[in-house]
Amino acid sequence: MVTKVVMPRLSLTMKAGTVVTWFKKEGEAVKRGDPLVEVLSEKVTYDVEAPSSGILRKIVETEGADVLVAGILGIIAEPNEQLPETDEAAVSPTSERIDAATPPLKKEMVKEVRERVLASPAAKRLAREHDVDIMEVKGSSPRGRIVEADVRQYLEEKEVHAPRVREVVHLTGIRRTTAERVSLSARTAPHSTVTMEVDMSSAVRLREKAQVSHTDILVKAVAHALEEHRSLNSTLKGEQIKIYEDINLGVAVATEKGLVVPVIKKANTKSLVQVASTLRGLVEKAREGRLTKEELAGGTFTITNLGMYGVEVFIPIINPPEAAILGVGKITQKPVTRNSKIEVKPMMYLSLSYDHRIVDGAPAAKFLQRVKQILEKS
């Protein structure tokens, strides 16, 4: 006798189910009542039992398939019995695939249900209390059931290997803000970085002449370059890239309490001397912790300098929601070739991290090239 194994209706609202596991292979003998195939509805897993004894002649729906209620999953028959047409439509008009419009049952759900661990309530409680992922604990009871003692042992073993804690510092204030913002940036903005070495000879001369800092010159040069490369002075919001009119340059300042980024508003409209005096004021206020909200808001691009710590080159994280950030290394006297002759020049690395969703490598490189040009001709 030919018997069809069908997708059961496990609840009133169930429309379809997923085939999770076949317990038998095609050609294997089955006995009526034996668990034959595990299926999953939105709510439960269920072992479909063999409706009759015989040979599992055909598996119609393989593991992972979504099948409508009453759809044929497989066929049981005698060894040499003639099977009906194996064409799916002929086997059953109801076994059609789920309409593409209805959301398919998620594979993750299958995984979740299958990986459910056998653990006692006490074991689960202890795991919860100590933030232990119960999946990592090995069960010692029959069938691998995890009991309280297993979690305890896991904790003890972890205790042995874990480093000893000297003190615990809570994330508060600037530290907390920084943690949140860099995570947001690293999580959402695909970072890419380009680097370039800059001859700072003329910048060094300008610095001495104008009594300004390297950073002031950098701010001015970057503001200038951004005027010509607007795509770097932008942000991505949803499906839109907003390109800013204002060029507001943030300068990262390390203080005792942590990193702050005061902003020089409309830096492109300011003279070098104006930039210098504005920045001096902002840095002073930053060190004293007196920066106002306004002075910290509205940045469109950030410059971060670790040169004073001897850093030659580093890869900065974009200050969200900006499009890019410029990392500045230290100025080093280095032998370089000029007209096939070796000369010693004050050299400095610039590294530009940019949000690859907004700009590609070529425009980023062109912008950086422009910054280099400006600095070398200043």
Partner 1 sequence: MRELTYRDALREALREEMLRDETVFLLGEDIGRYWGGAFKVTKGLAEEFGDDRVRDTPISESAIVGAAVGAAITGMRPVAEIMFGDLSALAMDQICNQAAKICYMFGGQTKVPLVVRTPFGAGVNIASHHSQSLEAWFMHTPGLLVAVPSTPFDAKGLLKTAIRGSNPVMFFEHKLLYPVKGEVPDENYTIPFGLADVKLEGEDATIFATLHMVQKALAAAQELRKQGTSVEVIDPRTLVPLDSKAIAKSVKKTGRIVIVTEDSKTAGTSAEIAAIIAEEALDYLDAPIRRVAEPDAPIPFSPSLEQYVIPDEKAIIRAVKEVV
Two structure tokens written together for 343: 């000369």
* Residue 285 within binding range of partner 1, rule CB under 8 A: no
CB of 284 to partner 1, least distance (A): 57
**Taking the C-alpha atoms of 205, 197, 222 and 309 in order, what is their torsion angle to the nearest 10 degrees?**
-80
Give the per-residue contact string, 142-181, with partner 1 (x = CB under 8 A; - = no).
Answer: -----xxx--------------------------------
CB of 127 to partner 1, least distance (A): 11
Among 44, 70, 83, 122, binds partner 1 (CB under 8 A): 122
Burial of 16-25, coded b for 16+ CB within 10 Å and e otherwise, reads bbbbbebebe
Number of residues located near partner 1, criterion CB under 8 A: 10
CA dist 236 and 262 (Å) reads 22
Q: Which of 123-131, 159-167, 186-194, 270-278 is the region at the interface with partner 1 (rule: CB under 8 A)?
A: 123-131
* Residue 125 within binding range of partner 1, rule CB under 8 A: yes
Is 229 one of the catalytic residues?
no
Q: Which of 122-130, 184-192, 239-247, 317-325 is the region at the interface with partner 1 (rule: CB under 8 A)?
A: 122-130
- Evaluate whether 261 touches 303 at the Cβ level (below 8 Å): no
Q: Which of 12-20, 75-83, 140-148, 309-317 is the region at the interface with partner 1 (rule: CB under 8 A)?
A: 140-148
Smaller CB separation from partner 1, 122 or 171? 122
CB of 146 to partner 1, least distance (A): 10
CA dist 149 and 163 (Å) reads 23
- Evaluate whether 16 touches 66 at the Cβ level (below 8 Å): yes
Which residues, listed in sequence order, are joined to residue 235 by a DSSP beta bridge? 242, 322
- Evaluate whether 69 touches 16 at the Cβ level (below 8 Å): yes
Cβ atoms < 10 Å from Cβ of 94:
13
CA angle at 34 for the pair 83 and 9, rounded to the nearest 5°: 75
* Residue 83 within binding range of partner 1, rule CB under 8 A: no
CB of 149 to partner 1, least distance (A): 8
SS3 328: strand
Among 9, 124, 285, 366, binds partner 1 (CB under 8 A): 124
Residue 57 belongs to what H/E stretch?
A: strand 54-59
CB of 47 to partner 1, least distance (A): 21
* Residue 120 within binding range of partner 1, rule CB under 8 A: yes
Q: Which whole-number Å values give the CA distances from 272 to 148, 230, 279, in the listed order? A: 69, 21, 10
Among 10, 40, 73, 123, binds partner 1 (CB under 8 A): 123
Contact residues for partner 1, defined by CB under 8 A: 120-125, 141, 147-149
Among all residues, which ones are annotated catalytic? 356
